Amino acid sequence: MLTLQPIGFVRTGKHAKFQALHQPAESAQEQHILELVPGQGYENGLRDLTGFSRIWLIWWFHKNDTWRPMVLPPRGPAIRRGVFATRSPHRPNFLGMTPVQLLAIEKNRLLLGPCDLVDGTPVFDIKPYIPAYDSFPDERSGWTGEVDAGLAAPPAFAIEWSPLAHDQAEWLAREWHVDFRPRLEELLGRDPSPHRTRRIKKRPDGQFQIGCGGWLADFAVLEKTVHIIRIDPGYPARLLEESEPGSIPDHAAQLAFLKHWGSTRDA
């Protein structure tokens, strides 16, 4: 047994796990704060760190309490991989590590660039990122390299929208500024097969369904074409009506959608 005491907590404003990036995307225009616990002398431990533009955070996946030897990564085909060959949160000791941009230090607060931690994540340690020690760009990257090569290739499936799905998506974008068409086309164009983390499943009637944010789309696959049939809110009407405003993604848009388009989906 080993007892660890967090040195601080991150403030990212992302409260749900699905809101956090899978890895810190450099393109994301985000800034976050790491607040160190006061009264422990940690401020002195930050001396000389300002010269580093990137630091490692060693942290706790505190929202997880189970682990699995084999996990299904969100990227690539639906193949389970050994947990130690992944960056999955479902690990025996729940330790995360993230190289994050260090933008500024103000007393015991560190201003950070994009990172993949949810709000309130406990941080155990900070280390400087040293390119000469930490960067080996020519090393092999196993199954992730194969997935990246697949993603670099053009999408394997064409996408067709039914007139109904087309009008529904247009209406959502126009009236509510909700537009998940690019994400849907990217996901389904690459691989429309059932996948838990891509939220694609086969329905009992043989058609498929994908979850995209708070929305659902039904689709069929014919040879190399994905036919998107219709869109629905991801939540049943009664739940939407009884929930507090804002407690469900796109809550108002989902209620308005049901009013405008109705739903053929079972409650």
Ligand X SMILES: C[S@@+](CC[C@H](N)C(=O)[O-])C[C@H]1O[C@@H](n2cnc3c(N)ncnc32)[C@H](O)[C@@H]1O
Q: Among residues 63 and 265, whose Cβ is nearest to ligand X?
A: 63
The 8 Å CB, 24+ separation contacts for 140-148 are 142/85, 143/76, 143/79, 143/81, 143/85, 144/75, 144/76, 146/76, 147/75, 147/76, 147/77
Site string for ligand X, 222-251 (x = CB under 6 A): ------------------------------
Residue 63 is a binding residue for ligand X (CB under 6 A): yes
CB of 92 to ligand X, least distance (A): 13
CB of 96 to ligand X, least distance (A): 4
Pick the binder of ligand X from 11, 49, 64, 155 (CB under 6 A): 64
Residue 11 is a binding residue for ligand X (CB under 6 A): no
Tokens of 121: 């994540």
- CA atoms of 102 and 185, how far apart (whole Å): 35
Tokens of 99: 């190289």
Residue 101 is a binding residue for ligand X (CB under 6 A): no
Residue 87 is a binding residue for ligand X (CB under 6 A): yes
Give Cα 53 to chain centroid, integer Å. Answer: 25
Residue 97 is a binding residue for ligand X (CB under 6 A): yes
Side-chain half-sphere exposure of 159, counting CA atoms within 13 A: 21
- CA atoms of 74 and 111, how far apart (whole Å): 29
- CA atoms of 243 and 240, how far apart (whole Å): 5
CB of 28 to ligand X, least distance (A): 12
Question: How many amino acids of this chain bind ligand X (CB under 6 A)?
Answer: 18
Site string for ligand X, 18-37 (x = CB under 6 A): --xxxx--------------
Spatial CA neighbour of 265 closest among 239, 241, 231, 240: 231
Residue 121 is a binding residue for ligand X (CB under 6 A): yes
Q: Among residues 22 and 174, whose Cβ is nearest to ligand X?
A: 22
Q: Among residues 116 and 232, whose Cβ is nearest to ligand X?
A: 116
**Which three-class secondary structure state does DSSP give residue 66?**
coil
Q: Among residues 14 and 230, whose Cβ is nearest to ligand X?
A: 14
Please report, as ranges, the residues that interact with ligand X according to CB under 6 A.
Answer: 17, 20-23, 61-64, 87, 89, 96-98, 116-118, 121
